[in-house]
Each structure stands twice: as C-alpha cells, then as structure tokens.
A and B are shown apart, each in its own frame.
Chain A
Amino acid sequence: MRQTTKHIYRYRLFFIFGSSLLIFLFTLLPLAYSFVLSLQNGRGSHLKFAGISNYASLLTDTTFLKALFNTFFFAVITVPIILLLSIFLANAVNNIKSEHIKSICSVILFFPAITSPVAYAYFFRNMFAVDGFLNDALINLKIISIPHNFLLTISGSRLAIIIVCIWAWTGYYTLLLISGLQSVNPILYKAAKIDGANGLQILFRVTLPSIKPLILFSSVLLSGGVFQLFAEIMIVSRGGPEESTLTLAYYIYRLCFEYVPQFGYAATIALFIFVISALISIVQLKIGELNDE
C-alpha cells in the first residue's frame, strides 16, 4: 500500500506543473514586478530607481485624480442600478411558470455577457454619434429638432458609458442570481404564502435574505469590473470630453501606449487599483458578515 501511495505522489508534479508555471510567470511574477516598477522613474526604457516619488506624484497628478473620481463615479452609479435591475429581472424570470420559456429568456439575457466588447462598443459609439441612429430616432419622434452630439458633452458621454455598462453587465448578474434563486428552499415560499405575504413582501423578506451572499458576491465582482473599464471607454468616448470619462484602467493604457511610455508611473497606478479593489472587496464582505450577526 505504501508503495502505491509513493508512486501516486510522483505524479503530483506532472499534474500541476503546467498551470502552476503559467500562473507564476504571467500572473504572480508580473504582480511582483509591478511593485519593482513602481519604485522606478523615467520615460521609455530608461528606468532608474526613484524611491516613492511615483507614489508622491499620484497626489498632485490632476489627470490621475480625475480618472480616480470618474472611476468611483461610474461605480457609484452603475453598481446599484445593475444590482437592482438584475434582482428584479432574476425574480421575474424565476416567476415564469413554463420551464421552456424560462430557459429561453435566460439564454437571451446572457447574450450581452458573451458579446465581444469591441463589437458592442463600436455599435454603441455609432448609436450615440452625432449622425447616429439615436439622433435620427429622436428627430423622427420630434423629441429634438437638431442632432445632439452626446459624446461631446460631459453629461452625454458619461450617460453613454453608463448605458453601455448597464446593457453589457446586467444579463450576467441576472443569470447568476437566477441560479441562486433556484436553490432557495420552496417550503419558505409556501409558508410565506400561507401567512398571506404579497409578491413584494416575499421578494424582500424571503427571497433576498436567502440569496444575500450571492448579491454581495455580485457587488464585489461588479465594482471590480468598473475598475477594469477599458475597451468601452477607449472606443465609445476615448476618455473625453475633457477627460470626463477617463477611467484608471484607460489612463494606465494611455501612459504606456499612447505617448512616450512611463512604465514606472503606470505600474504605480496599477498597484493602486489592485489595493483599492482588494479593499473594496474586503469592506463589502465585512459589511455582509456584520449584517449576519
């Protein structure tokens, strides 16, 4: 018996070698390297040690502060809207009696989640453009008389980004919550009905408390998603006008690939994103635990 166990253990390395190597090389090593980079300064490939000067620059870089504000702005607006929408939508889909229609609807609702971000970003850019079909529709309906250039006004382009995010992400979280709803014990619903609870009471007193961990998990994922907001920004609004839609992720890209690269400084911002999103996750999970007590 002992020999067989020994013989089994020799295979361990073989089984986990490939994935461990790639995770180490292309996820963990870059994370460690970005810390090293954040202590270096300079343009292009001429990097030299600069201590914490990059971190100090963060405080005075107005573009960074704008991007930070915008990212939080998008998070504060989109996360609650998407969560509420997907809760109501998941509940509505779950209320459908026919299993067949239920599954067709959930598949269709998932389409945005599997659509190429580049493709939908270009679709929405064309939609919001000054000669795009949103303007045509609004003019035809006589709501406005001259085309409105959404993407050249601060509120318009922010609204466009928010709409894109809601379209792209709501379906994914709806499906996540539907799978949670299906695991809620049906006896709870029966009991609530016998007690005479109405639909909304059942939703808020029975359904939501039972899937609270999943809602919390979704809010963590969603805020993480906002900190990653990139393709949509780059394509729909290019961060403008006046950097009003510039996000942290897009600012990093700009610093490295649109002007003379400042890898050190960009890595500092990247680390900042990592710390902030980790903190947000911890806070959200802690709040969840406190509520449980």
Chain B
Amino acid sequence: MMSKIKTTLNMLFVFVACVISLFPYLIIIVASFNNTVNIRKGDIMTNISFNNLRANFLSLTSDVQFYVSLKNTLIVTLFSVILGVLLSSLAGYAFVVFKNKLMEKMFKISFLSIMIPSSVIIIPLFMILRSLNILDSLFSIIITSLSLPFLVYLFRQNTKLFPMELIKAARIDGVSEIGIFFRVYIPNMIPAFVTASVILFIDAWNGFLYPLVIIQSQKNMTLALYINSIGKSYTTDYGSFMLTLLFSTLPIILLFVFAQKYFRKGMQVL
C-alpha cells in the first residue's frame, strides 16, 4: 500500500515537471490558432480556429524577411555542422591515434579553452573580425561559433574506445592514413558523429549573442535575430509571432527526438 502511494507520487512529480517543460510549447501552439486581439486579451482557449492559423501563416509567409532569415539560418547551420564535425573529428582522432608528448600538450590547450566563456571574448572577437573586414557576414558566424574545444574533447573521448586493431589492420592492407579515417573510422563512430552534429545544429540554429554582435544588415539576419527584431517592435502581430516562435523551435525538437538514442550513446563517455 505504502509503496503504491510512493510510486504514484513519484510519477506525479515527474509528470508535473514534464508539463512545465512543455508549457511554453503548449501555449504557443494554442496561441497560433488565435488572432492578435484574443492573445492580447489573454483569451486564447475560446477562440481556437483554423482560420486564425491560416491568417497567421499567410501573414508570416508574406514577410520577405522571414524567408531571408530562414535561408541564412539554414546556410549557417549546414556549414557549421559540416565544418565543425570535420575539424573536431579529425583533431579528436589524431589526439588519440597519433599520440605523443606534443600532441598531449596541444590537446590540453584545446581542452582548457572550453573554460573560456563566449561573453568574455565577444569584444576582442568583434574587433578582430572588424579588422579582418569580415564583420556582417554569415561566414564569420560560422567560423566563430563551432564550439570546437568541446567537440574535440567529445571525439577524443569516443576515439579512446575505438579498437586500434582495425587501424593497424588497415595500415597493413596499405590504406592511407586519410583513407583509414574516412573509410574505417567514420563508419564505426556513427553515434559520436550524430552527437556532434546534433550539438552543432542546435548551437547554430539557436545562436544569438554572436549573430547579434556580428550581423548588422537585414540581408544577413538569422532567425533568432528576426524574432528579436519582431519581438522588439511595438506593433507586433502576436498571432503570427507565436507561429514564428513555433517555426523556430520545432525543427530542433524533431531533430532531437529522432537523434536522442545516438545522442545519449555519444555523450556517455564524457
């Protein structure tokens, strides 16, 4: 009896926490089915209709700036994932496979860089980019926000579990070092690669501080900056704003739900 009550209370606690986690999503979804007047009145439960949703969708998709920022976010995300995964996996692999004293030192420097917070380096970074004349470009967002120190560490930890015999066997078969990396290592390390891609995807898609400082013109805006620019204005169309919030968060949620099994495997070794 006692234990049954305990199990129920335990489950209830977790359930309430889950509802709180989902709470903003629930409100945003319901609010997307309302018009601005009702949202401002706080009366979102009694006026749910597909007509409102359609109107909000039309209003959102009629804004050219929405497409521009969506396109920019996709570009930044795609190239961040490709470049970040490639560079960090190469380094993480090398720090284990080609290990010696110098490599250990290089790894230590790379590892300690995890401790350097982005708000600490944002000003000098801004000035360096300005003097290189590459401010206000998607390229600058991509190369500055790859979280390489953390990902190199992630790949190094995962590589430690990689069977060295496979590499030795491939060398005897005459496969080049680069060939071993691409044809032996990558196919056997899918969880680590999925994990790193998910992390880079989320960081690039949600990134705010770096784009805010780096981007100055409308044509280079990312989704986060677009949301910020609508949210700041006093004449916000709340119906379509809620839909924008939904559009900007849902891809990440879906990606994570599909990739979470690999994700946990990849993070386990940390």
**Chain A residues within 8 Å of B, Cβ to Cβ:** 4, 8-9, 11-12, 14-16, 18-20, 22-23, 25-31, 33-34, 37, 88-89, 92-93, 95-97, 103, 105, 107-112, 114-120, 122-127, 131-133, 135-137, 167, 170-171, 174, 179, 199, 224, 227-228, 230-231, 235, 248-249, 252-253, 256-257, 263, 266-267, 270-271, 273-274, 277-278, 281
| Main DSSP-derived SS at the B contact region | helix
* Given A114-B252, A116-B205, A231-B209, 8 other A-B residues pairs in contact with their CB atoms under 8 A: A19-B110, A26-B125, A117-B208, A133-B44, A135-B42, A179-B264, A263-B123, A266-B123
CB within 8 Å of A: which B32-51 residues: 40-44
With A30-B121, A33-B124 as known contacts, state yes or no: A278 contacts B115, CB within 8 Å.
yes
Closest chain-B Cβ to A126's Cβ sits at a distance in Å of 8
Q: Contacts of B143 on A, CB cut-off 8 Å?
A: 22, 26
CB interface residues, B 106-140, toward A, < 8 Å: 106, 109-110, 113, 115-128
Q: B175: CB under 8 A from chain A? A: no
Taking a contact as CB atoms closer than 8 A, the residue among A9, A92, A231, A278 that contacts B208 in the complex is: A231
Closest to B151 in A: A19
Given A108-B18, A274-B120: A116 and B88 interface contact (C-beta under 8 Å): no
Chain B hits for A171, CB < 8 A: 21
Give complex CA distance A53, B251 in Å: 48
Q: Taking each of B18, B118, B144, B171, which has the highest tally of chain A beta carbons within 10 Å of its own beta carbon?
A: B18
A212 CB, min distance to chain B CBs, angstroms: 17
A132 to B236, CA, bound (A): 14
Beta-carbon contact of B146 and A117 below 8 Å: no
Question: Which chain B residues (73-115) contact chain A, with CB distance < 8 Å?
Answer: 86-88, 90-91, 93-95, 98, 103, 106, 109-110, 113, 115
Q: Is there a chain A Cβ closer than 8 Å to B169's Cβ?
A: no
Asked whether, in the complex, the Cβ of A15 is within 8 Å of the Cβ of B94, the reply is yes
Which secondary structure characterizes the binding site on chain A? helix
Instruction: Establish whether residues B144 and A116, one from each chain, have CB atoms under 8 Å apart when the complex forms.
Output: no
Q: Which residue of B lies closest to A108 (CB)?
A: B18
Chain B residues numbered 229-263 whose CB sits less than 8 Å from any CB in chain A? 231, 238, 241, 245, 248-249, 252-253, 256-257, 260
A110, B264: Cα distance in complex, Å: 12
Asked if B122 contacts A270 (CB within 8 A), the reply is yes
Binding site for A on B (CB under 8 A): 6-7, 10-11, 13-14, 17-18, 20-22, 24-25, 27-28, 40-44, 86-88, 90-91, 93-95, 98, 103, 106, 109-110, 113, 115-128, 143-144, 146, 148-149, 152, 171, 177-178, 181, 202, 205-206, 208-209, 213, 223-224, 227-228, 231, 238, 241, 245, 248-249, 252-253, 256-257, 260, 264, 267-268
A131, B28: Cα distance in complex, Å:
16
B93: chain A residues within 8 A (beta carbon): 15
Report B-chain residues with C-beta under 8 Å of the C-beta of A116. Answer: 205-206, 208, 223-224, 227, 248-249, 252
Contacts A231-B208, A281-B115 given: A34-B120 contact, CB under 8 Å?
yes
The 8 Å CB contact of B103, one of A12, A19, A26, A112, is A12
Flag if B260 contacts A107 (CB, 8 Å).
yes
Chain A residues in 8 Å Cβ range of B28: 123
Chain B residues closer than 8 Å to A93, beta-carbon distance: 14
Q: Which residues of A contact B24 (CB under 8 A)?
A: 115, 120, 123-124, 167
Chain A residues whose C-beta falls within 8 Å of the C-beta of B209 in the assembled complex: 230-231, 253
Q: How far is the CA of A201 from the CA of B109 in the complex (A)?
A: 43
Closest 6 CB pairs of A and B: A136-B42, A15-B94, A30-B121, A30-B124, A33-B124, A19-B91
- How far is it, in angstroms, between the C-alpha of A20 and the C-alpha of B177 when the chains are bound? 19
A28 engages B113 (CB within 8 Å): yes
**B90 engages A16 (CB within 8 Å):** yes
Name the A residues within 8 Å of B227 (CB-CB): 116, 118-119, 122
State the Cβ distance, A246 to closest chain B Cβ, in Å. 14
User: Could you list 22 examples of A-B contacts with CB < 8 Å?
Assistant: A11-B177, A15-B93, A15-B94, A19-B152, A20-B91, A22-B143, A23-B113, A23-B148, A29-B128, A33-B127, A33-B128, A92-B13, A92-B17, A110-B260, A118-B228, A119-B248, A133-B44, A171-B21, A228-B119, A256-B123, A266-B123, A273-B120
